[in-house]
Chain A
């Protein structure tokens, strides 16, 4: 269990003299550079963002990069004057990629750390475990998870997903391209928990709408370490293998897929999740040559990167190949972590629109977030422009289909936002605050 901030013990024995010294020191700090800007705010207390992060457990690779991206975004926000003239402070707590721990972390944010909002978690079972607690404690909770659970209406008015498109929208926008270019008989391999079920349910429906069919469903537990035994379930008449895996064993999964099929395989369409934090040039992955990937945000910058992509990469410390600038073997989770950056900027905009000053303004913050409709592309939103639906607390953006060529994935198609829109299934704005 890690904790980056310790609370002051109740009986700390502060004397009047020490108090005066501290006050003098604080005044000195406030006069120093970097603190001047906050001085004119009504309160220079920092805005505390509780950051629920997968530092350990099966989501650790994502957690590491979520943390780097979050720290980079917060450093930049503070450089630009913070939010409403107040600095932003991140209070990170490890949730162990565990739903039970997740709910405890949310509770600590609300009761112990006195956070203004909770933020950041990815794995859908952790979101499902934590969001109800955030709702009960009335802690605005901004997740970066992809799952359809926010948009489905299953959660509550305090839970938002403004930084990353949900799985239902992703697969709806991709299905026409897959049916048209790769084939109509699709075999799906997916993780056996909430996130995988989103893929199963919404992609099956979406490919059916394109005149295709899913000919086999192969769920795999996310803690599995050996995969060959699942592959005989792939029917011989399969046109496309649709794979999306998560967890520490993703590299073993793709390697064993390669050992099983060699170069003679049905078309492969993989969600980059199966390869996040994995080098596409790893030995054993040669068979991926020519296969297609979904990427929310292409890992490889390509020949003509946009200025804001270059800006974002340099701030987070990622090179043009999606690896850490300090270690080329440390591959990022590029298609997910941008969600942290963008969510923090959306939160900043909502807090500014609400004139947020403290937890008393929670309701205003919720309403201001719900009032967002369009999000423009730029340094604050490098992945692209988005539409935000306040009723279902979910944003909708562009998706990318890339093809692997020589160990590098190049964009072959970028969907429009409209291709991923669906009828809202809920209306959180009608729930009580």
Chain B
């Protein structure tokens, strides 16, 4: 393949990788930003979303499109419900203490993973894309659905941005993030805000899973990758800064796409991991994170 088609493929792969990263990191970033809670089970919420997408698509008559739409409703709702229980029964009981939360969510990670193994089995589950369209370039073909994921990811990101910056609820969230105690003093029901944010973070990652599963297959061990990559994105972007996460997702996704196509995917992973180390040394709060007050 000559240079330009090669570059085109690299850019396409990079864009898809960036969209996938931004989508899966969004929930983590939101939850950390507002609640200062590091949810290690984030990747398992993703896996559960993908598994439920498979299950719904299988149960739903009327072909892949109907299954996809149904999964879009069922998976975020179910994962959100689980997140609600987690928040009420686990995080609230340990008073959102940072260390305790990490340990508790590690436990949750194993519980969800083993439950998925027990109830859904150890096989990879293919989920048909809602439509199949192959874009034919003169040099190679590319999945039209992958580009749809990019568009959908953009739409979800815009939606979250709109809620955060243009609605009253977004304002309340930002206030809670800025100063929890003052927010409480002003009568903001911080506990309710926390519940909503944690549920929304989980539902968002489930939406990401429903979108991504047709290009990956659902598997009970699939949560590890999104978890690591989300952490990388969130650390580089600045914990708690959604803008930072999106920009970091694009930087890493693009580098990853281009380096994996031109060199090797292993080198791409090495570079993104090194980038995290570098950011932690040089700018511990991340590229767009605020200094801790």
Contacts and interface: CB of A to CB of B under 8 A. Distances in A.
Q: Are the chains A and B members of one assembly?
A: yes
Interface of A: 55-58, 60-61, 63-64, 221, 224-226, 228-232, 236, 248-249, 251-252, 256, 259-262, 277, 282-284
Contacts of A283: 128, 132
A202 B222 CA distance: 33
A277 B141 contact: no
A259 B123 contact: no
Chain B's interface: helix, strand, loop or mixed, by majority? mixed
Nearest to A260: B140
A75 B200 CA distance: 52
B124 A249 contact: yes
A56 B122 CA distance: 6
Which of B122, B136, B225, B265 neighbours the largest number of chain A CB atoms within 10 Å of its CB?
A: B122
B285 interface: no
B121 interface: yes
B216 A252 contact: yes
A260 B141 contact: yes
B142 interface: yes
Contact of A252 (B1, B121, B217): B217
Contacts of B122: 55-57, 60-61, 63-64
A277 B140 CA distance: 28
Contacts of A282: 126
A24 B60 CA distance: 55
25 contacts: A57-B122, A57-B221, A60-B123, A61-B123, A64-B122, A221-B265, A225-B222, A226-B215, A228-B9, A228-B142, A229-B10, A229-B257, A229-B260, A230-B260, A231-B140, A232-B1, A232-B9, A251-B126, A252-B126, A252-B215, A252-B217, A259-B141, A261-B141, A262-B134, A262-B141
Given A56-B117, A64-B123, A259-B142, A225 B216 contact: yes
Interface of B: 1, 6, 9-10, 13, 17, 117, 121-124, 126, 128, 132, 134, 136, 140-143, 215-217, 219-222, 225, 257, 260-261, 265-266
A103 to B, nearest CB: 21
A57 B221 CA distance: 8
Contacts of A57: 122, 221
Given A248-B219, A251-B126, A277-B123, 11 more contacts: A56-B220, A64-B123, A228-B13, A229-B10, A231-B140, A232-B261, A249-B217, A252-B126, A262-B134, A282-B126, A283-B128
A249 B122 CA distance: 12
Contacts of A55: 122
A52 to B, nearest CB: 16
Given A248-B217, A283-B132, A261 B123 contact: no
Contacts of B6: 232
B55 to A, nearest CB: 14
Which of B128, B142, B215 neighbours the largest number of chain A CB atoms within 10 Å of its CB?
A: B215
- 7 interchain residue pairs of minimum CB distance: A60-B122, A248-B124, A229-B260, A56-B122, A248-B219, A262-B141, A259-B143
Contacts of A58: 221
A204 to B, nearest CB: 19
B135 to A, nearest CB: 9
Contacts of B265: 221, 224, 229-230
A284 B257 CA distance: 23
A252 B143 CA distance: 12
Contacts of A230: 260, 265
A63 B257 CA distance: 34
Contacts of B215: 226, 252
B9 A259 contact: no
A229 B132 contact: no
A251 B124 contact: yes
Nearest to B13: A229
A252 B132 CA distance: 14
B266 to A, nearest CB: 7
Which of B142, B265, B266 neighbours the largest number of chain A CB atoms within 10 Å of its CB?
A: B265
Nearest to A227: B265
A282 to B, nearest CB: 7
A251 B217 contact: yes
A259 B134 contact: yes
A254 to B, nearest CB: 11
Contacts of A249: 124, 216-217, 219
Contacts of B266: 221
Contacts of B123: 60-61, 64, 248, 277
A284 B134 CA distance: 10
B86 to A, nearest CB: 24
A230 B265 CA distance: 8
A259 B9 CA distance: 12
B257 to A, nearest CB: 7
A284 B145 CA distance: 12
A161 to B, nearest CB: 25
Which of A56, A64, A236 neighbours the largest number of chain B CB atoms within 10 Å of its CB?
A: A56
B68 to A, nearest CB: 14
Nearest to A248: B124
Nearest to B2: A236
